[in-house]
Amino acid sequence: MLTFLASILFLIVGYITYGKVVERIFGADDSRRTPAYAKQDGFDYSPMSWWKGSLIQLLNIAGLGPIFGAVMGALYGPIAFVWIVLGSIFAGAVHDYFAGMMSLRHNGEQYPALVGKYLGKYAQSSINIVSIALMVLVAAAFTAGPAELIAQLTPLTFTVAIVLVFVYLLVAAVLPINKIIGKVYPVFGGILIFMAVAIGFGMLFLFEHPIPNLTFTSMHPEELPLWPLMMVTISCGAISGFHSTQSPILARTIKKESEGRKVFYGAMIGEGVIALIWAAAGMTFFGNTGGLQEAVAAGGAAGVVNEISQTTLGTLGGILAILGVIILPITTGDTALRSSRMMLGDVLRQVTKKSFDGRKSKLLLIVPVALPAFLLSQIDYSFLWRYVGWTNQLVATVMLWTGAMYLLKQAKFHWICSVPATFMTGVVSTYIFYAPEGFGLDYGLSMILGSIIWLVVIGWFAWQVYQEKRQTHPSVAHSNAN
């Protein structure tokens, strides 16, 4: 229990202290006019209070990620607490803050456009494809999952359920942000928080088994390689590239720059707390990681969440579990489509030099991303989710390098982005070679190949640092060369 409580405390202290450090290094300035006012259109650009924005951001970035991902990550044992805490404070929250604040500084631009400004046009072209593909996969996965549960609980067939869910996604994705998202989603964000807090109290006072502490003998089961699998399994709740596509949505609604720490950094820390609670619940409720593994094999992560919720909270827990498994992924799916619509608009604007800000244009832009998402949603949910993980963390890694380049060019302390970017580069480089959905190579060979890519990326950034110093202090760079 001590490890769990300490982890919660570290997250809170991290927000209060390191969050302010990150804000100060970035240089939040309330004298600047934000895009919510400068480009106000009553559709995507619309001023919103920070507390409402924070709840919407939490719901957008979370969905079922910090619940399902944390439950699966709990299979690694108490070491998962360490990754959630360190990942949230030093990687995930920094990632989300820079994704949101850099968008705000660049008139609400989407993630690929930011990549293009600081990593070049080739990187932007590649990440445009990857990020839109990620949005389509997320929308598909977060349509199929709820539809399966609706079909189980109601007389509706899976086909009818999936059509109904998708119709809602389309409507929410093309309506002004204040129509549905701004009014209803803060309530759903409150449900997500209430559900986690209730499970946390139940775990502390009602569970039969104590929350395990981190020891040298309980690090993780040997059959589950910690590196790099845990860092991809627990993405939401530590660091997730999907967040970089969601943060610009809220960047277009923030009234002043100082609210960015609450909306972006704070929402990620909140997601970390939720992930901690569910990871601890998964380890504790079934007695040990072996019991959890059996429960996951029997009913999947959804079955685990449902059993914990109903046992802990009774009928209310069952209702909340159903609400969570149905509503939370749907609310993430619609914002995924909304983001992909915005990204596609940016791509077409660059190619055609025409504006796609009109309402008719928004309706037309949703079709090319909605159609493949709908077709993919009819594939097995677990199969889809396997391909979300690596793509998600690749997007996160690129966003961190984008933040590092932004700070480097601003002559600011780039290490707050470049260090976690370096770490995540190692994760995605090794994972793609080892994972079954990747090349499925031998673990040792995967580590070697991943290390080679890691060294190449580190060399590239070192060269960027040298070039920046050379441009800023040419005489110093010349003397060093001699």
Domains of the chain, by residue range, sit at 2-402
Residue whose entry in the numeric block shows the structure tokens 């209803």: 184
Cβ atoms of residues 121 and 235 within 8 Å: no
- What's the pLDDT score for residue 477? 46
| Pairwise CA distance, residues 231 & 393, whole Å | 9
Read off the amino acid at residue 67: I
**Choice among 152-156, 179-183, 251-255, 417-421 with the minimum mean pLDDT:** 179-183
**Does the pLDDT value for residue 256 go beyond 70?**
yes
- What's the pLDDT score for residue 480? 43
- What's the pLDDT score for residue 381? 59
Whose CA is closest to 230, among 77, 91, 3, 400? 77
Provide the mean pLDDT of the chain: 85
Cβ atoms of residues 350 and 119 within 8 Å: no
- Give the model confidence (pLDDT) of 107-150 as tens digits: 999 899 999 999 998 898 888 888 888 888 888 877 777 777 77
**Does the pLDDT value for residue 369 go beyond 50?**
yes
| Pairwise CA distance, residues 71 & 74, whole Å | 5
Q: What is the pTM of this model?
A: 0.88
Output the CATH code of domain 2-402: 1.20.1740.10
Distance of CA 294 to the CA centre of its chain: 28
